[in-house]
Structure 1
Amino acid sequence: MSQLITTPPTVEAGTTGTSYIGKPTNRVDGPAKVTGAAKYSAEFKVPGMLYGYVVNSTITKGRITKIHSEPVLALPGVVQIFSHENVPSLAWFDRNYKDDVAPGGSPFRPLHDEKIMFNMQPVAVVIAETFELARYGASLLQIDYEEEKFETNIELKRDEGFEPGRGKTGWMPPPSPRGNPNDALKNATHRIEGEYMHGTQHHNPMEMFGTTVEYHPDGKITAYDKTQGVYNVQQYITKIFGLSKDEARVINLYMGGGFGSGLRPQYTVFLAVLAALELKRSVRVTLTRQQMFSFGHRPHTLQYVKMGTNPDGTLAALQHHALHETSKFEDYTENVVNWSGMLYQCDNVKLGYQIAKLDVFTPQDMRAPGAATGSFALEVAMDEMAYAAGLDPLDFRIRNYAERDQNLKRPFSSKKLRECYHQGAARFGWDKRTAEPRSMREGNMLIGWGMAGGVWDASMQKVSAKATLTADGKLTVASATGDIGTGTYTIMTQIAAETLGLPLEAVTFQLGDTDLPESPVEGGSWTAASVGTAVQKVCQNIGEKLLKLAQKMEGHPLKGADIDDVEFANGQIRLREKPEEAVVIRDVLQASGEEKLEATSNSGPDMIKQLPYSLHSHNAVFVEVKVDEDLGTVHVTRVVNAVAAGRILNTKTARSQVLGSVVWGISMAMMEETVMDHHFGRYMNHNYAEYHIPVNADIHDIDVVFVEEEDDKVNPLGVKGIGEVGLLGVAAAITNAVYHATGKRIRELPIYMDKLL
């Protein structure tokens, strides 16, 4: 096993003090990443490793009639070709192998049989002594197919959608209609309605999926897998291959972006484990950029919004319906429309949600799943409604501000969206906006200002953590969560250091290994709250043990002190009322004769405290665009994103997350679209040359505002998470700004120039 996994990142020496939470602390894993010391899943080198290259189907639906393996197997250095023809009987044939985040239905089983269910389905993997030889062999492998008629166009399924089941963890069906939305809409003073659409989008993280499986002499394996949840992958492996947890260790120390694509185990881990177990050799299977388009995506979605106002500009009625694609074998679902029932005050609301089964791979959670889609339609419709009612878009939203969650009939645990509106508008200069479309210009550039808002869940999961304090004053805290680039290593180090009053350089946080205490997948913006609470709790447990040991020391000044009477700061335990009365933490352990102190903890949501409330983070986005009047090219020149997400643990890494979200929102609005040729049922632009994402020249001024928000109900840290909320509203605000600049209302993303000419 590579010894690199035993050297997780630590903070450089020189940092002092014990107040770290909320400070703009540098990433503790930064040096490892920029020097190349950080090893990703496809970079671990093990002796005698074989390489696998995946062969994908060239048809969309049908069956394999023959695989011509012999010419490829005859190549010197080609070891084996795995396909449905020679895969052994596996435990998953009882279908009892779903991963933790699987939707309802029957998950895709690679190499299970001869059936083809979607284009680019993995149908074989060539195993060879080198990657180049495996890839060459895969290019020579001929496969005969019998094709069948397929369906891939959701726009032909508008009237065939059906209500999804409850098979996906975390999905909440839309609430029942409230009030009388049909009559209220009919009697409204002003009305708008429209269809809003975006096509399929793929995650495309920088690091492509890959798995390195190290095969040990005793038959056990260690899988270095690109994943957002090592325990989820371990569960998947053990169920399929009939292994115990002791026989299948999963590790992911670093991840070059996930955005939800790593929530579910992808087929590289199955193929690599299969090959390793069958050949009793270590195996690596990696995907190319083109093959990254062969699994999960943000689904192509059609939305219909109807809205009406009373004479005073308050919402009289709101109706929002969504239809999106899923596969023929799973019922993937998203919370697309629910947000429309809670973001604005309206007593007459009707929300509907359906899915259409197509011959595509199952869609997958993609940053702010459901909300990114739903908020686009809602916030563009709100802009249209504001114009129809003769109101400023910001004033219109404030006029319809929701003080309670009408979906759940509960108050919000905290909500500073109004402050987001005000602070964001002030920073942007919204009061200088003229209302009339095409009324602001700079030479031949039409200038448009638009805005939108967003809401995202503030949730918490069960997490376990372990802490070890050694006699030299060094603290190691561990939990098997992940860091997909968001800063988990850093903020957990900050929490641990502050809780026990230690310098940052004395703390090491370990993650991404099934040998560590269990943690759920990193997603949903719940990691900071969930893992952070567990880290704080386990460090408090260490603190209680330290105090008891300190009180056994001869001449100690803490006699009779309870844990609430002391504080941990500057490497000491000291009385809160008399900070000069203190003992050094390192001295406590050395005097006790203990080599180390250990503690474990389990934490989870306090349902009694949370249940009476609706828990959410919010944001408001203000955008400036400049549109060339002759060419129709759009430049997003300024963005202000004001976010209220409870306590901010690290203003530097938090700002980086929101910056990335804004860039993604620009990409979603202006560029991203995976184009399907429905004659072939195949994505035609499955590469970085034609699947467009922003480059540096596309990104200009981005300003992030964190609105102060205290919340003692969501979790002990008061953290809500910002990984997803920062994306919400960006695409809609750009779309609204384009209307203000040009007078042309766009309801379909991305906004290519042909839609403006």
Structure 2
Amino acid sequence: MTRTTLPPGEDGRDWHAESNQQPIAPPNTGRAGIGTAVPRIDGHAKVTGTARYAAEHPVADLCHGVVVNSTIARGRIVRIDTSAALAVEGVLDVLHHDNRPSMRSLRVFYKDMTAPAGIPFRPLHDAQVHSSGQPVALVVAETFEIARHAASLVHVEYEVYPHETHMLSRRDAAHEPGGYKAGYSKPPKPKGNPDAVFAQADVTVDAEFYAGAEHHNPLEMHASTVIRDDRGHLTIYDKTQGSQNSRWVVSRAFGLPGRKVTVRNPFVGGAFGSGLRPQYQLLMAVMASLQLKRSVRVVLTRQQMFTFGHRPETWQRVRLAASPDGRLGAIIHEAAAATSRDEDYVEVVVNWSGQLYACDNIRYSYKLVDLDQFTPIDMRAPGAAHGVHAIEVAMDELSYALGMDPLALRKINYAERDSNKDLPFSTKQLMECYEQGARAFGWDRRPAAPRSMREGHELIGWGMATGTWDAMQMAARASATFHADGRLEVACAATDIGTGTYTAISQIAAGAMGLPLEQVVFRLGDSDLPFAPIEGGSSHIATVGAAVDAACEKLQRRLWRLARGIAGHGFEDSAFEDVMFVDGHIALRARPDVALPLHRVLQMRERANIAVRHMLVPDMLRQKKSVRAVHSAVFCEVRVDETLGTMRVTRVVSAVAAGRIVNPLTARSQVVGGVVWGISQALFEETLADHRLGRFMNHNLAEYHFAANADIHDIDVIFVEEDDRVVSRIGTKGVGEIGLVGVAAAISNAIYHATGVRLRSTPMTPDKLLRGSAV
């Protein structure tokens, strides 16, 4: 069996060679192109512990840094006493704003590729404290244990300023966003006369929604290992969703040439948006390495994972007007979300309403509330996790006001064109999602009235909701090299954040070249590889996958030209359209028996390899003519203990239309993970602040609750057939976000069906249910 390698190790060798692991090959699947369910080719490395993450790369003469965080929400550092820490044997230095190495001061040098408008946070820049938990010092020592102990000895004195962290009490101070960021679309201008229609409508819903702050808790905590060689070159292993984004910030902030910095992230233990922007440990680890001229590692603790960014606290109001037959006459969707005083973090929250439903009268409002907190950051399905939740719960309320089935109401208002932009969808199989999801769930057996189903002491409810997310494609460059020994090597500075990118891209390349999967090597996770965008917004498969497919087409053409030059083998007079690549051969379509093994083509032409590159640039002129989106229909069953108010989600069916599915196995895993998080968002997750201190209080896994194994029951995923050649040349769309969108709304709607109590705030906890509290 042909050996398959995965990511490069510290010096370019294979990751399994670096860990003394025996060579591994994926299962011999034969042809394994788009549509084949293939186990993850990196799975063995992960389950056996040989996959190395940012804090796990062995380095000689490595020292360790531990961050000291502020204990106030807003103020100024008056004095830092580091004497006790420096007296500890093994402590090398304590860095703070007065003694850190030279860094550029202009804020533009700290702007990463996903930064919102405003002033990015610059660690140890000056004496100002902007939020509780802000890093104020870094203790560097020979071991982590020494650094951790010494960090507890650093004494910081502050001048404390008044702070504001209570968003709901500051809603009157909400303001329009001062700028934009990647992926943000400003709410469109009002359409029609929604206020007048609402005032005169036969049936209306006017509902407020509140979602508390949520924090990322991926298995791998944020860490950076900076390896400094004798020439001063920095090789950095960083927990990031974009190696080139991290290199961009490091080189600009410290004034280093890009060639002096390499960032690698071959394995990422979950990120979910927390790694889109470089986090503060990266720049602090580089500071220490430059100061001490040594290799340095900085790993954040679980508690420190709560000191940078979060899903923003959000308030919403949705007003719907409908005629007695259920047709929407007006949609008014307003939102206010928290941001920091320094940056205007923005999300697409309200726009989804008009994209989901046909309506002639629409008005949106989206504003920000400045707080003394760290700038929020993207979290899985940013904006849609809140915005779609609100419109879908409001639609459920409208169905009861009309005496209509919730699914029937959605079908009546099905949007063939986006109501915001009056554009068609590139593809939209949402109606088929409704049909297949409802059939698999058994929706036709649902009694209409709340509190109609019971088993013992539990009330049973069935709810449903629609999900949607953008189908994005960005620019990327990929290389493809075919070797005379039959190996195909493709490369791109992409990131696999646990989604199965290694496997899916390898499948695309194998399918394009007609090769067995075990002959394909995909290299990613290295800033020195060809350009890739940040892995976010479920865009990688349509972006990197399409770039790899296009590079493979170039490779096909090169191989065909070489084959034409081999006399006596039947290809001399062929056109490119006359040949196909299958089972490791180039063959004539009309005469499949006329074929040459691909590696023999190179050998006969005395070539060791052929290498090509392709730069994928989205066809924006074509793509702007339609709205590109993925869709889902989520159906769920909830059981509620009538006495205790405890809630269990016992069954979920998620029907998803997301273009061609490259790997049904890994794609299903993505949707299941999204559903689990949706359950977590609905019932458990919230970070609570003590506003007197301006500090998040439940900053650990004992008190920040999320769904565990016992909370998860039956999850059924259905992929509805779809092929979207507008989004990508291979017809694919991403599935990372869509699994979460709509789940919390379906649960809220099921709780109402079970109990007759409407809960509009998340998380939906037993105390709220027993109080009958909507918000």
- TM-score relative to the length of structure 2: 0.96
Other-structure match for 1:705: 718
Structure 1 residue 8 displacement after superposition: 4.9
**Cα deviation digits, residues 70-102 of structure 1 (max 9, x gap):** 121111110000000112331243643300000
Other-structure match for 2:28: 15
Question: Structure 1's 713 and 471: CA in aligned 2 closer, same or farther, altered over 3 A?
Answer: same
Question: For structure 1, which runs of at least 5 residues remain unmatched after alignment?
Answer: none
Matched residue SS, 2:272: coil
Matched residue SS, 2:210: strand
Report if aligned partners of 2:653, 2:716 keep a CA contact under 8 Å in 1: yes
Other-structure match for 1:342: 355
Q: Distance in 1 between matches of 2:500 and 2:733?
A: 15
The one of 731, 735, 754 equivalent to 1:718 is: 731
Report if aligned partners of 1:11, 1:504 keep a CA contact under 8 Å in 2: no
AA partner of residue 478 (structure 2)? A
1:373 is aligned to 2:380: no
Other-structure match for 1:224: 237
Other-structure match for 1:578: 591
Question: Structure 1's 2 and 409: CA in aligned 2 closer, same or farther, altered over 3 A?
Answer: closer
AA partner of residue 63 (structure 2)? L
Report if aligned partners of 2:339, 2:375 keep a CA contact under 8 Å in 1: yes
**Cα deviation digits, residues 193-217 of structure 1 (max 9, x gap):** 1110110001111100000000111
Q: Distance in 2 between matches of 1:330 and 1:5?
A: 39
Structure 1 residue 170 displacement after superposition: 2.3
Q: Distance in 2 between matches of 1:95 and 1:372?
A: 30
Matched residue SS, 1:725: coil
Matched residue SS, 1:91: coil
Report if aligned partners of 1:180, 1:349 keep a CA contact under 8 Å in 2: yes
**Cα deviation digits, residues 449-503 of structure 1 (max 9, x gap):** 0000011111100000111111101111000010000000001110111111111
Matched residue SS, 1:588: helix
Report if aligned partners of 2:110, 2:122 keep a CA contact under 8 Å in 1: no
Structure 1 residue 408 displacement after superposition: 1.3
1:122 is aligned to 2:135: yes
Structure 1 residue 168 displacement after superposition: 1.2
Report if aligned partners of 1:2, 1:44 keep a CA contact under 8 Å in 2: no
The one of 338, 358, 371 equivalent to 1:358 is: 371
CA RMSD of the aligned region, Å?
Answer: 1.2
Other-structure match for 2:68: 55
Matched residue SS, 2:152: helix
Other-structure match for 2:541: 528
1:606 is aligned to 2:619: yes
The one of 190, 195, 211 equivalent to 1:177 is: 190
AA partner of residue 88 (structure 1)? P
5 Å-filtered alignment, 1:94-109, equals 95-109=108-122
AA partner of residue 215 (structure 1)? R
Question: For structure 2, which runs of at least 5 residues remain unmatched after alignment?
Answer: 1-7, 17-22, 771-775
Other-structure match for 2:174: 161
Q: Distance in 1 between matches of 2:372 and 2:220?
A: 27
5 Å-filtered alignment, 1:326-475, equals 326-475=339-488
Other-structure match for 1:736: 749
Q: Distance in 2 between matches of 1:3 and 1:153?
A: 46
Structure 1 residue 735 displacement after superposition: 0.4
Structure 1 residue 11 displacement after superposition: 6.6
Other-structure match for 2:336: 323
The one of 69, 94, 97 equivalent to 2:82 is: 69
Q: Distance in 2 between matches of 1:649 and 1:8?
A: 25
The one of 264, 274, 283 equivalent to 2:287 is: 274
Q: Distance in 2 between matches of 1:256 and 1:94?
A: 30
Other-structure match for 2:4: none
Report if aligned partners of 2:33, 2:512 keep a CA contact under 8 Å in 1: no
5 Å-filtered alignment, 1:525-604, equals 525-604=538-617
The one of 135, 141, 150 equivalent to 2:154 is: 141
AA partner of residue 326 (structure 2)? G
**Cα deviation digits, residues 38-91 of structure 1 (max 9, x gap):** 100000111100000000000111111111111211111100000001123312
What percentage of aligned pairs have identical amino acids? 53
Q: Distance in 2 between matches of 1:726 and 1:659?
A: 7
Report if aligned partners of 2:459, 2:755 keep a CA contact under 8 Å in 1: yes
1:186 is aligned to 2:199: yes
Report if aligned partners of 1:2, 1:45 keep a CA contact under 8 Å in 2: no
**Cα deviation digits, residues 345-371 of structure 1 (max 9, x gap):** 111111110000000000001000001
Matched residue SS, 2:651: strand
Answer with 85-94 or 393-402: which moved more.
Answer: 85-94
Other-structure match for 2:59: 46
AA partner of residue 158 (structure 1)? R
Report if aligned partners of 2:32, 2:517 keep a CA contact under 8 Å in 1: no
Question: Structure 1's 643 and 220: CA in aligned 2 closer, same or farther, altered over 3 A?
Answer: same
1:290 is aligned to 2:303: yes
Q: Distance in 1 between matches of 2:88 and 2:504?
A: 51
Question: Structure 1's 441 and 359: CA in aligned 2 closer, same or farther, altered over 3 A?
Answer: same
Q: Distance in 2 between matches of 1:163 and 1:681?
A: 24
Structure 1 residue 283 displacement after superposition: 0.1
Other-structure match for 2:20: none
The one of 295, 307, 322 equivalent to 1:309 is: 322
Question: Structure 1's 488 and 94: CA in aligned 2 closer, same or farther, altered over 3 A?
Answer: closer
The one of 224, 238, 261 equivalent to 2:274 is: 261
Structure 1 residue 341 displacement after superposition: 1.4
Structure 1 residue 556 displacement after superposition: 1.4
**Cα deviation digits, residues 380-414 of structure 1 (max 9, x gap):** 00000110111110000001100001211110011
Answer with 746-755 or 129-138: which moved more.
Answer: 746-755
AA partner of residue 45 (structure 1)? P
**Cα deviation digits, residues 138-188 of structure 1 (max 9, x gap):** 011111111110000001112110010333122111001111101110111
Report if aligned partners of 1:2, 1:46 keep a CA contact under 8 Å in 2: no
AA partner of residue 426 (structure 2)? S
1:235 is aligned to 2:248: yes
Other-structure match for 1:213: 226
Structure 1 residue 7 displacement after superposition: 1.2
AA partner of residue 667 (structure 1)? S
Structure 1 residue 3 displacement after superposition: 4.2
Other-structure match for 1:6: 13
**Cα deviation digits, residues 585-625 of structure 1 (max 9, x gap):** 11111111111111111012112321211111100100000
Report if aligned partners of 1:105, 1:167 keep a CA contact under 8 Å in 2: no
Q: Distance in 2 between matches of 1:92 and 1:594?
A: 52
Question: Structure 1's 8 and 476: CA in aligned 2 closer, same or farther, altered over 3 A?
Answer: farther
Report if aligned partners of 2:479, 2:614 keep a CA contact under 8 Å in 1: yes
1:727 is aligned to 2:740: yes
**Cα deviation digits, residues 648-706 of structure 1 (max 9, x gap):** 00000000000000000000000000001101000000000000011111000000010
Report if aligned partners of 1:481, 1:531 keep a CA contact under 8 Å in 2: yes
1:80 is aligned to 2:93: yes
